[in-house]
Chain A
Amino acid sequence: MKLKTRELVAVAVFGTLWGLVEISLGTVLKSFRIPLSGAVLAAIGLMVAMIGRTFVPRKGSTLFVGVIAMLLKLFSLGGVILGPMIAIFAEALVAEIVLSLFQKPHRRAFLLTGSLGVLWVLIHPFITNPLLFGRTAFVVWLDLLDSGSRLIGLDTNAAVAILLFLVALHLAIGAAAGWLAWDVGKQLQIRLGKSFSPTSPPISQKKEKTL
């Protein structure tokens, strides 16, 4: 995939925005152990990436945005950054796959992208914790139940109810992010005087040289 100068700049800008959100807000949310901080961060990050997709409607652009955000996470304060870096990359990969599946991206594509991207937050510890920290999947499962139990006040014995609640909440947060991203992307394109059609590059960019 060859990106034009303007597209590269857009990818860099949106990647930096996502990275800055992770560094600043991420550090604050994690420090204060705010519930659902992972879902909130993923939703905001994916929103930025999806808005970026309306500026660079090319396969691979969302993954590029995620890679830049991931690299910026290296500058984050605090000890553990490898897990969050993998999470950013995985969320971008999920977003890229879903967006690429749709021939003509529209609001539904963004809703699905947001939902599945944020849902990754629940799945992520099951992969990284055993690989990076040597924790068993069973203990990760117990952690998940505990966090759900603390959120809704149900006993951890109600595992199915807790899991369904967490899945529904993450899907809804992701869908909201997708919805907002579509609207914000649309508004930005209109304000910039471009026709809103995420399936093809804006007319003003078509004659630029490729790098």
Chain B
Amino acid sequence: MKPTRFLFILIAVLLAACSSVVSDGDVTKVVITDGTSEKAFSLSDLEKMSVTESTFNEVTYVGVMLSMLLEEAGFSPADLSAVKASASDGYSVNYDPALFTREDVIVAYATVDGDLTEDDGTFRMVLPGEEGKLNLRFLVELKVIP
């Protein structure tokens, strides 16, 4: 077999091994887990907690501080190396301690003008001043990494 063919067949095989992963998370809850234990929060659970407002892209969101939510779920933010936020479509993003301990980083469930839009999902992350890709929408899971 010619080396060229081998090379392109190899790439084709490697690419064929690729697949898209879509999780079927419950979009009405946000689950906080460390892989062994987990705690789920519904919209009404978050509404009962202390409210924080954060602005991203000129929209002011209403939600709960991420670090407070982690503590509520039984995880001390000071003991964590990273937090991975996952969306219902499989997209995920990792936050380092400098981000998830910030007081303006929130899990949003509404805006000051009303509900989140359909494009936001039930919950979304809001990190003022950070890149759009870090401001994940359709949040379904927060995985803590010690």
Contacts and interface: CB of A to CB of B under 8 A. Distances in A.
A142 B19 contact: no
B134 to A, nearest CB: 10
B94 A143 contact: yes
B20 interface: yes
Contacts of B20: 150
Given A146-B84, A146-B92, A152 B11 contact: no
A151 B7 CA distance: 20
B82 interface: yes
Grouping DSSP codes into helix (H, G, I), strand (E, B) and loop, the A interface class, with mixed when no group exceeds half, is helix
Interface range on chain B (Cβ under 8 Å from partner): 20 to 34
A175 B10 CA distance: 11
B145 interface: yes
A80 B84 CA distance: 22
Closest 7 CB pairs of A and B: A142-B94, A139-B96, A153-B19, A151-B18, A136-B96, A169-B14, A139-B94
Given A165-B17, A179-B7, 15 more contacts: A79-B131, A134-B96, A134-B98, A136-B97, A138-B81, A142-B82, A142-B84, A143-B94, A146-B92, A152-B17, A153-B19, A169-B11, A169-B14, A172-B10, A172-B11
